[in-house]
Amino acid sequence: MDKLIIEGGVPLIGSMTISGSKNAALPILFASILLDEAATLRNVPDLRDIHTTLKLLGMLGCSCEYQDEQVRVRPGSLLPEAPYELVRTMRASVLCLGPLLARIGQARVALPGGCAIGARPVDQHLKGLEQMGARFELEQGYILGHCRELNGAHITFDMPTVGGTENLLMAAVLAEGETILENAAREPEVVDLAHFLLACGAHIEGQGTSRIHIAGVSRLHGAEYAVMSDRIEAGTFLAAAGITCGELLLRHCPANELEAVTLKLQDMGMKITTTSEGVLVNCARPLRGVDVTTKPYPGFPTDMQAQIMSLMCLAEGTSVVEETIFENRFMHVMELERMGAQIRTSGHIAMVRGVRRLAGAPVMASDLRASASLVLAGLAANGTTEVRRIYHLDRGYERIENKLNSVGARIRREKE
Ligand code: EPZ
């Protein structure tokens, strides 16, 4: 396993380019199962989860080539099985369920199980697919799904689930008749998936709203498509400029999809402006504490909660964080406390009292975004911070140390 060694205290100054979005690329790759022609996807980030997905697609009968952030995928004669040894490393594998049922009427997908941040059930996915005519059994930790054909249905989610909306959207585009998804997730990554499916000949309206209408078609052709930029990577680097009192220009930064984040960072005292080159962010004064409650899009994203908490640790005054999406997404708190942060948690609430300095220390990454928050804290801390188990980080950030070192950070990667 690798670890990152970070020498803190250097303001980040310079420009960076935001990569393609992991959480848009993953569903779009699974959607290629629906096509009866090849597709070419551009701006696909070089990430662990992407390569896991390409491996799984290969096992399902699709041929995939990845080169220079571009993927050429051609569905062949499909097989129904997504094995546990792959699914357990990436829960998004459950997104093959809808496409497999739509294409071959059967699927054998390992139940993803929980992860560090929560139980992560998939009941909404299964309930919606059952309404469309699928039947499921659970056997030795695998979901066995089958259907003669999928029929359009009027489906209302109990909560706006990103994965649930994506699975049902992919199932509905080839279903018989019309489907309505109520209380659908509005995340930009869901919209990006819908745009890819539209480019392949699907009939979809209402993407980006909580009511999506799909009219099933008999086939989907191939397409060339560029994946959107990663708003969470961009938000993480905005926070990096803030925590180091630096100045960054972020090229390909999806500013429109980051409004809830940029507003909060501006409330903390950061200057963020959109220029023709990209988004310019600087932080020339001490940060002020703010209160944040995570919400489904367009609210403050849960995937930025750990990162803004690192900023709050060094802000003047007290900040309150309420995590409403996942039941266990404060794993970074104990590690930040090892660096001198003053944080009290009670259930879904964390109270952060700003301190003048953090001190470098050995810390342990537990999940993708918690790892990012520890890197941010290490960039600002006095002395050396060792972030261990950074395979979590590599799932969602393309060689983060190279990007940060290109703007002045002092980070090296070592074998643990
Ligand atoms: C997606 O996960 C993202 N992953 C997550 O990003 C992100 O945190 C999450 O959406 C919320 O925005 C990908 O897109 C690959 P949900 P997903 O279904 O789809 C409950 C990252 O860091 N729920 O929107 O799994 C669930 O427990 C990752 O990049 C059910 O109860 O999230 C949670 O409380 C982490 N039953 C809430 O809904 C279901 O059937 C939202 O989950 C489905 C979800």
* 181 & 296 share domain: no
| Atom number, ligand 1, closest to the C-alpha of residue 120 | 27
DSSP state of 206: -
Task: Tell me if 36 is assigned to a ligand binding site.
Answer: no
Look at residue 286 in the predicted model and tell me its pLDDT. Answer: 87
Give the Å distances, CA to CA, from 128 to 103, 150, 261.
17, 11, 31
* 84 & 205 share domain: yes
* 144 & 181 share domain: yes
* 139 & 240 share domain: no
Q: How many domains does the chain have?
A: 2
* 181 & 245 share domain: no
* 212 & 307 share domain: no
Beta carbons of 262 and 292 less than 8 angstroms apart:
no
pLDDT digits (tens, 9 = 90+) for 139-155: 998 999 999 999 999 99
pLDDT digits (tens, 9 = 90+) for 165-205: 999 999 999 999 999 999 999 999 999 999 999 999 999 99
- End of a domain among 226, 251, 267? 226
Look at residue 288 in the predicted model and tell me its pLDDT. Answer: 97
Look at residue 274 in the predicted model and tell me its pLDDT. Answer: 95
Check pocket membership of 235 for ligand 1, CB cut-off 6 A: no
Q: Which residues contact 347 (CB under 8 A, 6 or more apart)?
A: none
* 188 & 234 share domain: no
Mutational test site, ligand 1, from 161, 293, 328, max ligand atoms within 8 Å of CB: 161
- End of a domain among 166, 194, 226? 226
Where is 22: in which H helix or E strand? helix 22-31
| Atom number, ligand 1, closest to the C-alpha of residue 126 | 40
Euclidean distance between the first and the last CA atom of the chain, given in angstroms as a whole number: 5
Residue 240 Cα to ligand 1 midpoint, Å, equals 25
Residue 162 Cα to ligand 1 midpoint, Å, equals 6
Task: Tell me if 325 is assigned to a ligand binding site.
Answer: yes
Check pocket membership of 123 for ligand 1, CB cut-off 6 A: yes
Name the closest-CA residue to atom 13, ligand 1: 23
Q: Name the residue type at position 88.
A: R
Give the Å distances, CA to CA, from 114 to 111, 128, 158, 394.
9, 21, 19, 20
Residue 358 Cα to ligand 1 midpoint, Å, equals 31
Task: Tell me if 303 is assigned to a ligand binding site.
Answer: yes
Task: Tell me if 91 is assigned to a ligand binding site.
Answer: yes
Residue 186 Cα to ligand 1 midpoint, Å, equals 12
Give the Å distances, CA to CA, from 289 to 32, 294, 302, 376.
44, 16, 18, 17
Look at residue 13 in the predicted model and tell me its pLDDT. Answer: 98
* 185 & 279 share domain: no
| Atom number, ligand 1, closest to the C-alpha of residue 119 | 27
What CATH number has the domain bearing residue 283?
A: 3.65.10.10
Distance (Å, whole) CA 409 – CA 399: 13
* 34 & 172 share domain: yes
Check pocket membership of 47 for ligand 1, CB cut-off 6 A: no
Mutational test site, ligand 1, from 19, 52, 89, 120, max ligand atoms within 8 Å of CB: 120
Each residue's pLDDT expressed in tens, for the chain with a length of 416 residues: 899 999 999 999 999 999 999 999 999 999 999 999 999 999 999 999 999 999 999 999 999 999 999 999 999 999 999 888 888 888 899 999 999 999 999 999 998 876 778 878 899 999 999 999 999 999 998 999 999 999 999 999 999 999 999 999 999 999 999 999 999 999 999 999 999 999 999 999 999 999 999 999 999 999 999 999 999 999 999 999 999 999 999 999 999 999 999 999 999 999 999 999 999 999 877 899 999 999 999 999 999 999 999 999 999 999 999 999 999 999 999 999 999 999 999 999 999 999 999 999 999 999 999 999 999 999 999 999 999 999 999 999 988 999 999 999 999 999 98
pLDDT digits (tens, 9 = 90+) for 298-322: 999 999 999 999 999 999 999 999 9
Look at residue 89 in the predicted model and tell me its pLDDT. Answer: 86
* 114 & 218 share domain: yes
Name the closest-CA residue to atom 19, ligand 1: 163
Mutational test site, ligand 1, from 21, 23, 52, 305, max ligand atoms within 8 Å of CB: 23
Check pocket membership of 368 for ligand 1, CB cut-off 6 A: yes
* 136 & 244 share domain: no
Its domain, for residue 235, covers: 2-18+230-415
**Helix and strand numbers, DSSP H then E, in the chain:** 14, 24
- End of a domain among 191, 226, 261? 226
Give the pairing type, strands 62-67 and 410-415.
unpaired
Check pocket membership of 184 for ligand 1, CB cut-off 6 A: no
* Nearest to 372, CA basis, from 185, 241, 233: 233
* 374 & 394 share domain: yes
| Atom number, ligand 1, closest to the C-alpha of residue 396 | 29
Distance (Å, whole) CA 266 – CA 264: 5
Active site amino acids? 115
